[in-house]
Amino acid sequence: MGEETNPLGSILQMATGLLASRALWATAHFKIADHVTDQGIGLDDLAEKTGILPDRLKRLMHVLVTFGMFRVLPGDLVVSTPVSQMLRSDSEKSVRAWIESIIGNEHYEALGSIDAALREPTTAFEARHGMLSFDYYTAHPGAGALFAQAMSDFTFPIDASISAYDFPKFDTAIDIGGSMGTLLNLILARYRDARGIVFDLPDVVERAGAAWAAEGGAARLSGIGGNFFEAVPAGGDLYLLKMILHDWNDDQCVEILKNIHTAINPGGTVCIIEILVPEDFSPHPGWMADFNMMALTGGRERNRGEYESLLEQGGFRLKRDTVLAPTSFSLLEAVPE
């Protein structure tokens, strides 16, 4: 932060971020963008379709227009923008589910207990809900399904970059914590002689399997339910860990890596996809993610050296790391020692 920065302006920007975030969440929750097209819709008609009081919708729209979410033409005609298109449920680039789940509902409530996470070795999520976040999703299937959809939607651009990566030769790829199998499907589309296994909690795999069946099945893709702190499926040549290790503390990460080391085929590869943060206080988008991990899961974002240390403790040697442009994520490729 330079000396030319307006101190009060900086404080107000952070303080009012909560209001902007809640306005964005309301847009996703009420699926406002689903009803707004390039041709536009009248404000009163939009209020009727969303169930929002007309005057309250107009006041919300003032905020959303400020951020470029919509345009409002004379006669209160609400028109879509490229920003609002990303909140349409039917858009290929939709992040609507991610906004509703990750910045709302149980996550929003948990952040109200951030003081507990700063004072005690616990998470804000545990302080608010009395259980770990992943246990919460098992106990609340509706929230779990929304979270799974949120992660699939949000990580699609990352998945596209990962699937374009030049992986070492493999016959079987195993995605640890692979949720709905979106990433593996993209990878298998390039590696047509290989097969893939999604490994996740049993309820997640059951939900994914039902989705695959509804879509006519996923070629060469199957699911196995389990707990990666106990064991992971054996016989893989390529093990994927996308946004998994940042959910856990160092000892838990080493435990996961040791289980993969036990299961992996000789000559196999483990690929970790995470944000790499700087080793100093340089500004970086990963710091906000790190704060979020502290509050919700008890995990953290790490720098390259920290991941290299975890890999060594888990029995692996880091070969290389590659930035997955245009995202802020990196892929760390490691082999068993």
Confidence of residue 1 (pLDDT cuts 50, 70, 90): very low
Enclosing H/E stretch for 336: strand 329-336
Give me the mean pLDDT over the 198-219 stretch.
Answer: 83
Tokens of 234: 């054996």
Of 29, 35, 129, 246, catalytic: 246
Confidence of residue 241 (pLDDT cuts 50, 70, 90): very high
Catalytic status, residue 246:
yes
pLDDT of residue 154: 82
Confidence of residue 59 (pLDDT cuts 50, 70, 90): very high
Q: What is the pLDDT of residues 279-310, one digit of tens each?
A: 999 999 999 999 999 999 999 999 999 999 99
Closest among 177, 180, 230, 233 to 201, alpha carbons compared: 177
Residues 6+ apart with CB under 8 A from 68: 81, 83
Q: What is the pLDDT of residues 172-199, one digit of tens each?
A: 999 999 998 989 999 999 999 999 999 9
- Is residue 217 predicted with pLDDT exceeding 70? no
Alpha-carbon separation of residue 73 from 79, 207, 237, 291 (angstroms): 7, 43, 57, 39
Confidence of residue 116 (pLDDT cuts 50, 70, 90): very high
Structure-model confidence comparison of residues 326 and 154, the more confident one: 326
pLDDT of residue 43: 98
CA distance 91 to 187: 22
Quick one: 313 exposed, middle or buried, by C-beta within 10 A (0-12, 13-18, 19+)? Answer: middle
Instruction: Enter the DSSP assignment of 302.
Output: B
Lowest pLDDT segment from 52-56, 111-115, 155-159: 155-159
- Is residue 278 predicted with pLDDT exceeding 80? yes
Amino acid of residue 300: R
Q: What is the pLDDT of residues 76-85, one digit of tens each?
A: 999 999 999 9
pLDDT of residue 324: 95
pLDDT of residue 282: 96
- Is residue 276 predicted with pLDDT exceeding 80? yes
Give me the mean pLDDT over the 110-134 stretch.
Answer: 96
SS3 label, residue 72: strand
Distance between terminal CA atoms of the chain? 43
Angle 315-135-277 (CA atoms, 0-180°, nearest 5)?
A: 50
Give me the mean pLDDT over the 221-246 stretch.
Answer: 97
What are phi and psi for residue 236, nearest 5 degrees? -90, 145
Amino acid of residue 305: G
**DSSP letters of 137-192?**
HHH-HHHHHHHHHHHHHHTHHHHHHHHTS-PPP-SEEEEET-TTSHHHHHHHHH-T
Domains, the chain, in order of start with CATH, read 7-88 (1.10.10.10), 97-149 (no CATH), 155-336 (3.40.50.150)
Residues 6+ apart with CB under 8 A from 85: 33, 91, 93
Radius of gyration of the chain (CA): 22
Q: What is the mean pLDDT of the chain?
A: 94
Q: Is 40 left (phi over 0), alpha (psi -120 to 50) or beta?
A: left
- Taking the complete model, does pTM exceed 0.85, yes or no? yes
- The answer to whether 72 and 46 have CB atoms below 8 angstroms apart is no
CA distance 274 to 302: 8
Residues 6+ apart with CB under 8 A from 247: 134, 293, 297, 298, 299
